[in-house]
Every structure is written in structure tokens, then in C-alpha cells.
């Protein structure tokens, strides 16, 4: 009771002092005009600006922490993939066989036509184009299988409770593993091409453009594959959708042939699909950088990342809502 009354008294004294302060403030204002009011408004504005600045600083720090978190996931994925890099190199024997076959096939084709170039590609440019496309298409991780398995097994319910963004976490994992596998394919395929047809002229300043295009292409592939895998919320098996996507990537994505060799009607159809951004765009840029319009290619890839990213976001939100409704 003593504590209670003491507390109440303290509160009363605090209110009295606060009221006295307000009365003194009003009297002071009436004595000196409105100058004090203007100064108080300035102080309040300064305080609000200070708080707003602190808020922006906290947002920046939070974004940096999140970025570091996903970079750590990416680094761990790369580390896991490189732990068995020798096994990965052994698996690229198929890549060496494919490039060997393509060299003989295209040499015969150019010999029969009697032309030094076809659709602007020399023999060497065509082979190096195929090195890039085959490296990407065989090295990328088919991530729709991972997504499909998580949804059908119910593991996604546990993954969603982790303190990370589900889609970005898997993107970092996909990118780390894919970069290592694509890099191994490039080493083996490039070595075979270098021995059989020799190098081609690629300017040094083309390197960042080609690397950026390959990363954007892998991003488009991940987004598309993730959206296919998340269809497991509604269908029993997403394998047919994954098979259709892989076939379209092989045929209309420019994996086996540059789009420049397609008939005009088919080329327009292929150019309207996102698959060509995965393999054709970076390979075309590498094989003939001077005439490839690199900035245009990168802008198209960024646009497709935005469009397909919106599709993936909608599929994910609808699937998550279905999971919540069903008590997942």
C-alpha cells in the first residue's frame, strides 16, 4: 500500500510539474510573441527528420544483413559443389563427346555448302557458340524437381518457417551449384574446341557483358523452373511440364542451332519465348560480340527476369494461400 500510494503521489507530482511547464510555456509565448512557437516547430521538424534518417539507416542495415545472409548461402552452395569438383569434371566427359561430334558435323556442313560463313557464323564461331549453349543447358540445375519434391513431401511447410525468403534462398542455392557445373563444362568444352577449331576473337571488354548475360540467363531459368515446380500445389506430377520446358529450351531456346538459322516465322516464335534468354543470348554475345548489341540483349534479359519473376511471385503466393487454407 505504501508503494502504491508513493507511486500515485509520484505520478501526481509529475502531472503537476508537466502542467506547470505547459503554463509557463504559454506565458512565455504571450510575453515574447510567436517567436518561441516558430522555434519549437523547427525543433520538432528537426527531431522528425532525425528519426526519419535513423529509420532509413535501419532499413539500409537490414537490407545489408539480408544480402549477407543470402551471399553466405550462395558461398556455401559453391563450397558444397566444389567439394566434389573432380567428380563434376568426370561427368563433363559427355560434354567433350558432344563438342567433338559437333565439330565434325559442322565441318562437313560447311564443306558441303562451300561457304565460309552461315548466318554470319564461321565454323569456329559456330563451335564456340555451341560450347556456351551446351555448357549452360547441361550444367544448370533442374530445380523444378527440388521444388516439386518439397511441395509433395510437405517439407515446404518447414522451409517457410525459416528466417529467410523461400524463393531467394533457393535461388542462391541454385546459382551456386549451377555456376560450378557450368564452369566445369566450359573448361572441358572450351579445351576441346580450342584444340579442334582454335580460338575466336573476343574483345576483353566483352567478358563482363557475357558473364552478366550468363547469370541473367540462369536467373530466367531458375524462375521458370521454380514456377513449374510450385505447380505441385495443384497437380500430382510436374514432370510433364518440366519435360516440355526442357524440350523448348533445346529446340526453340537456340541450344542446338542459333536462332539466326531458323525460318523467319519460327524465329519470331522463338524470340517471343523466355527460353532463348537462357542460352541463345549469352552464346550469341560471345560468338559475335561486335554485332550482337550487348546492351539490348541485357535489357531484354532484365525485362524477362522482371516478367517471369512476377509470374513466380503470383504462383508462390497462390500456392502458399492454398497451403494455409489446407492447414499446412
> Domain for residue 289, yes or no?
yes
- Rounded to an integer, what distance in angstroms lies between the CA atom of residue 214 and that of residue 298? 10
Torsion of CA 185, 186, 189, 194, to 10 degrees: -160
For residue 200, the 8-state DSSP code is: -
Residue 298 · residue 282 · CB < 8 Å: no
* Cα dist from 24 to 29, 33, 282, whole Å: 9, 14, 74
- Rounded to an integer, what distance in angstroms lies between the CA atom of residue 272 and that of residue 257? 16
| Structure confidence at residue 10 (pLDDT) | 39
DSSP 122-161: -HHHHHHHHHHHHHHHHHS--THHHHHHHHHHTHHHHHTT
Q: Of the candidates 105, 131, 285, 122, which has an alpha carbon nearest to the alpha carbon of residue 210? A: 285
> Domain for residue 1, yes or no?
no
Share of residues in the chain with pLDDT > 70 (%): 79
For 99, half-sphere exposure in the C-beta direction (CA atoms, 13 angstrom radius) is 31
> Domain for residue 86, yes or no?
yes
> Domain for residue 178, yes or no?
yes
Pull the grid cell for residue 117: 560463313
- Rounded to an integer, what distance in angstroms lies between the CA atom of residue 250 and that of residue 248? 5
List the chain residues with pLDDT less than 50.
1-39, 325, 327-328
> Domain for residue 32, yes or no?
no
**What's the pTM value of the predicted model, to 2 decimals?**
0.78
Total number of domains in the chain? 1
> Domain for residue 262, yes or no?
yes
The string of pLDDT tens digits covering residues 36-75 is 444 455 555 555 555 555 555 555 665 667 788 889 999 9
Residue 64's domain spans which residues?
55-325
- Rounded to an integer, what distance in angstroms lies between the CA atom of residue 81 and that of residue 141? 11
Task: Tell me whether residue 184 is exposed, middle or buried, using C-beta atoms within 10 angstroms of its C-beta: 0 to 12, 13 to 18, 19 or more.
Answer: buried
Q: Of the candidates 112, 161, 88, 89, which has an alpha carbon nearest to the alpha carbon of residue 323? A: 161
> Domain for residue 97, yes or no?
yes
- Rounded to an integer, what distance in angstroms lies between the CA atom of residue 220 and that of residue 190? 24
> Domain for residue 19, yes or no?
no
Amino acid at each position: 500500500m505504501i508503494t502504491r500510494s508513493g507511486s500515485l503521489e509520484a505520478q501526481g507530482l509529475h502531472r503537476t510539474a508537466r502542467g506547470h511547464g505547459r503554463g509557463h510555456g504559454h506565458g512565455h509565448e504571450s510575453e515574447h510573441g510567436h517567436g518561441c512557437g516558430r522555434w519549437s516547430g523547427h525543433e520538432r521538424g528537426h527531431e522528425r527528420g532525425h528519426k526519419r534518417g535513423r529509420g532509413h539507416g535501419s532499413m539500409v542495415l537490414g537490407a545489408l544483413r539480408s544480402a549477407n545472409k543470402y551471399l553466405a548461402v550462395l558461398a556455401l552452395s559453391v563450397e558444397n559443389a566444389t567439394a566434389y569438383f573432380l567428380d563434376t569434371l568426370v561427368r563433363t566427359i559427355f560434354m567433350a563427346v558432344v563438342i567433338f561430334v559437333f565439330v565434325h558435323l559442322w565441318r562437313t556442313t560447311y564443306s558441303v555448302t562451300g561457304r565460309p560463313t552461315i548466318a554470319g557464323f564461321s565454323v569456329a564461331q559456330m563451335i564456340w557458340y555451341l560450347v556456351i549453349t551446351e555448357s549452360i543447358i547441361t550444367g544448370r540445375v533442374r530445380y523444378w524437381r527440388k521444388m516439386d519434391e518439397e511441395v509433395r513431401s510437405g517439407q515446404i511447410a518447414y522451409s517457410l518457417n525459416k528466417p529467410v525468403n523461400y524463393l531467394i534462398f533457393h535461388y542462391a542455392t541454385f546459382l551456386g551449384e549451377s555456376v560450378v557445373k557450368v564452369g566445369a563444362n566450359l573448361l572441358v568444352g572450351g579445351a576441346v574446341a580450342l584444340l579442334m577449331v582454335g580460338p575466336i576473337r573476343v574483345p576483353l571488354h566483352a567478358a563482363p557483358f557475357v558473364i552478366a548475360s550468363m547469370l541473367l540467363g540462369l536467373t530466367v531459368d531458375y524462375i521458370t523452373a521454380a514456377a513449374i515446380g510450385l505447380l505441385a500445389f495443384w497437380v500430382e506430377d510436374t514432370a510433364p511440364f518440366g519435360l516440355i520446358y526442357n524440350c523448348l529450351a533445346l529446340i526453340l531456346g537456340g541450344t542446338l542451332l542459333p536462332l539466326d538459322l531458323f525460318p523467319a516465322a519460327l524465329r519470331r516464335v522463338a524470340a517471343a519465348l523466355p527460353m532463348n534468354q537462357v542460352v541463345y543470348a549469352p552464346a550469341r554475345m560471345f560468338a559475335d560480340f561486335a554485332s550482337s548489341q550487348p546492351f539490348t540483349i541485357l535489357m531484354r534479359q532484365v525485362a524477362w527476369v522482371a516478367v517471369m519473376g512476377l509470374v513466380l511471385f503470383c504462383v508462390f503466393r497462390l500456392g502458399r494461400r492454398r497451403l494455409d487454407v489446407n492447414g499446412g
